[in-house]
Amino acid sequence: MSASAESHRTTLANPPNAMSSEVAEFLAKPKKLFIGGQWHDSRSGQTFDTVDPSTGRAIATVAEGQAEDIDRAVAAARKAFDDSAWSRMRPMERERLLHNLADLIEKHADTIAEIEALDNGKSVVIARHVDVKHAIEVYRYMAGWPSKIEGQTLPLSGSLLPDQTFVGYSLREPVGVVGAIIAWNFPFLLATWKLAPALAAGCTVVLKPAEETPLSALFLGQLITQAGFPEGVVNIVPGFGDTAGAALSSHPDVDKVTFTGSTEVGRLIARAAAGNMKKVTLELGGKSPTIVFGDVDADAAIAGAASAIFFNHGQTCCAGSRLYVQSKRFDEIVEGVSEVARKLKLGPGLNPETQIGPLVSATQRERVMSYISQGMADGAKAVAGGHALDTDGYFVEPTVFTNVNAEMSIVREEIFGPVVVAAKFDDLDEIAAVANQTSYGLAASIWTKDINTVHRLAPKLRAGTVWVNCHNVLDPAMPFGGYKQSGWGRELGKEALNSYLESKSMCINI
Ligand code: NAI
Ligand code: MG
């Protein structure tokens, strides 16, 4: 690719002994499928390699689950769902198991962070202090729910009731067997967003991690057993999307499918789920605007806008990938963000100095570079970055584009890399329309000191989260998800829990 050779950047190297002995031991063990509480080879005997994206070298060989393995895992999950060890377990005991799991994750947090850094490429420091720390809190937040899942008393009084006495109330019950299919950008965290509420609700789960990043889910399988969950409550089947993923999303004995990934695959999953009318939650792509007004403090807005896009190398569904700045401050803010982009240190995830790791795969690097090339061909100007690094790892420079227009693919489509497009705006109504000029609706951020601006603009934004003077901030109690083609339903908070519960109305003639 022409854009790839010109970069003069160098990457950091890993310090000697960057990998701990616990991680080396884990990597050396066979990587099997976790089904019914046991570790199995796949029925076909097939395996696949997972690579370290900072070197392109294989780090582990993993059993490849396919349709027949998914069948086996779903059968184990169904059996566990029906079995009294789980279905009749007291809610407070479910809470204890979730707390046990959170404690075990905390005990092994450094190990999980290292596995994540190796398999995904992200900084080990971020993995430890964002991905794993947040995961622990989500398990603990959801562990609080089981004993508090309540129905309602229903005051039945309509004229259709016969002239007798009725008692009405509702119950919340687990939806059943859940198929969870996740992406590779936050492997451990996304598994948590599905597992924690599903288990709190009393569901059983078959989890299919992304083929790029199966390792932290397999490590989690060991902790599930140690935490004391009955066999088959959680099953973990690594494999590819069009085989294992497709089998899980169309399986007739799965009651709900929950997915995080591309909008394109979200559409396939919704179709596959229609066969037996599975309940569906989808957390899909985004093209979120970062909207900077002219009254901001420059340092905070520049740091915030840079972090909005470059956090996790732009491989974040809610990344602030469209930067809109009020005209009078445009040059200053965009130059500031570009300066940050030029100074960010690229390197492997295991080096604690690394600020931008490699993209997850060669495919992702090619996808991002083809957007960058297309942007240049369309007349956009890369004022920072614009190149892939000439190394075996999948590094792409943090890139800032100006001279963009609404027709360009770099402005319209999710790039999912460290690439931001910057454009000017003048007034609030104009920016509201431009911000919504996308098929996505996951998130937006507004940067201003003016409370009136916030309250006038936020209601106009068609987005599931609106951050004010911050971006990419998540909390276990705050629902997260998308309007429009960014998805169906919400992760986190009570809304996520409710999506794993059915409602049963009881109507009793006494
Ligand atoms: P993807 O959507 O293909 O993969 C995500 C998960 O879906 C993986 O576990 C994969 O095995 C599974 N999958 C793929 N095809 C499937 C099918 N037919 N049935 C069931 N499961 C299937 O995402 P991919 O290819 O890794 O990335 C492509 C683009 O998607 C990225 O460039 C980015 O724009 C977007 N994406 C968005 C994410 C988000 O968080 N919003 C996460 C990952 C990707
Ligand atoms: Mg794919």
Query: Atom of ligand 1 at shortest distance to CA of 417?
Result: 32
| Cα–Cα dist 419/386, whole Å | 8
For tokens 């490849």, name the residue. 64
Who lines ligand 1 at CB under 6 A? 181-183, 185, 208, 210-211, 240-242, 245-246, 249, 260-262, 265, 268-269, 284-285, 317, 367, 414, 416
How many whole angstroms from 79 Cα to the centroid of ligand 2?
31
Q: Which ligand is nearest to the CA of 242?
A: 1
Q: Which ligand is nearest to the CA of 210?
A: 1
Q: Per-residue DSSP letters for 267-335?
A: HHHHHHHGGGT-EEEEE----EEEEE-TTS-HHHHHHHHHHHHHGGGG--TT-EEEEEEEGGGHHHHHH
484-507 CB burial, b ≥16 within 10 A, e <16: bbbbbbbbbbbbbbbbbbeeeeee
Residue nearest to atom 13 of ligand 1 (CA): 241
Q: What is the CA radius of gyration of the chain?
A: 24
Query: Atom of ligand 1 at shortest distance to CA of 211?
Result: 11
Residue nearest to atom 11 of ligand 1 (CA): 241
| Cα–Cα dist 393/389, whole Å | 8
Report pLDDT digits (tens) over 254-285: 999 999 999 999 999 999 999 999 999 999 99
How many whole angstroms from 85 Cα to the centroid of ligand 1?
35
Q: Identify the helix (H) or strand (E) that includes residue 71.
A: helix 67-82
Query: Atom of ligand 1 at shortest distance to CA of 360?
Result: 26
How many whole angstroms from 388 Cα to the centroid of ligand 2?
21
How many whole angstroms from 370 Cα to the centroid of ligand 2?
16
How many whole angstroms from 454 Cα to the centroid of ligand 2?
37
**Each residue's pLDDT expressed in tens, for the chain with a length of 510 residues:** 445 557 878 899 999 999 999 999 999 999 999 999 999 999 999 999 999 999 999 999 999 999 999 999 999 999 999 999 999 999 999 999 999 999 999 999 999 999 999 999 999 999 999 999 999 999 999 999 999 999 999 999 998 888 889 999 999 999 999 999 999 999 999 999 999 999 999 999 999 999 999 999 999 999 999 999 999 999 999 999 999 999 999 999 999 999 999 999 999 999 999 999 999 999 999 999 999 999 999 999 999 999 999 999 999 999 999 999 999 999 999 999 999 999 999 999 999 999 999 999 999 999 999 999 999 999 999 999 999 999 999 999 999 999 999 999 999 999 999 999 999 999 999 999 999 999 999 999 999 999 999 999 999 999 999 999 999 999 999 999 999 999 999 999 999 999 999 999 999 999
Looking at residue 310, what is its pLDDT?
A: 98
Looking at residue 71, what is its pLDDT?
A: 98
Are the CB atoms for 237 and 244 separated by under 8 Å?
yes
What is the average pLDDT score of the chain?
A: 97
Looking at residue 308, what is its pLDDT?
A: 98
Query: Atom of ligand 1 at shortest distance to CA of 209?
Result: 9
Residue nearest to atom 14 of ligand 1 (CA): 241
Report the amino acid identity of residue 480.
Answer: F
Report the amino acid identity of residue 60.
Answer: A
Cβ neighbours of residue 108 closer than 8 Å, sequence gap 6 or more: 22, 219, 223
Closest to 175 in 3D by CA, of 505, 506, 509, 497: 497
Are the CB atoms for 256 and 488 separated by under 8 Å?
no
Looking at residue 3, what is its pLDDT?
A: 55
Report pLDDT digits (tens) over 13-32: 999 999 999 999 999 999 99
Looking at residue 1, what is its pLDDT?
A: 43
Distance of CA 106 to the CA centre of its chain: 20
DSSP state of 185: S
Cβ neighbours of residue 262 closer than 8 Å, sequence gap 6 or more: 183, 284, 285, 414
Looking at residue 163, what is its pLDDT?
A: 86
Q: Which ligand is nearest to the CA of 366?
A: 1
Looking at residue 77, what is its pLDDT?
A: 98
Are the CB atoms for 137 and 476 separated by under 8 Å?
yes
Ligand 1 pocket test, pick from 120, 189, 262 with the greatest ligand atom count within 8 Å of Cβ, gives 262
Query: Atom of ligand 1 at shortest distance to CA of 182?
Result: 9
| Cα–Cα dist 491/312, whole Å | 19
Residue nearest to atom 26 of ligand 1 (CA): 183
How would you classify the pairing of strands 47-52 and 57-63?
antiparallel
Are the CB atoms for 459 and 429 separated by under 8 Å?
no
Q: Which ligand is nearest to the CA of 486?
A: 1
By annotation, the residues acting in catalysis are 283, 317
**Cα angle: 186, vertex 191, 195; to 5 degrees:** 155
Are the CB atoms for 292 and 469 separated by under 8 Å?
no
How many whole angstroms from 476 Cα to the centroid of ligand 2?
28
| Cα–Cα dist 11/498, whole Å | 45
- Which phi and psi (to 5°) does residue 173 adopt? -130, 150
Ligand 1 pocket test, pick from 64, 119, 181 with the greatest ligand atom count within 8 Å of Cβ, gives 181
Grouping H, G, I as helix, E, B as strand and the rest as coil, residue 195 is helix
How many helices (H) and strands (E) are present in the chain, helices listed first? 18, 22
Looking at residue 6, what is its pLDDT?
A: 72
- pTM across the whole model: 0.98
| Cα–Cα dist 325/339, whole Å | 16
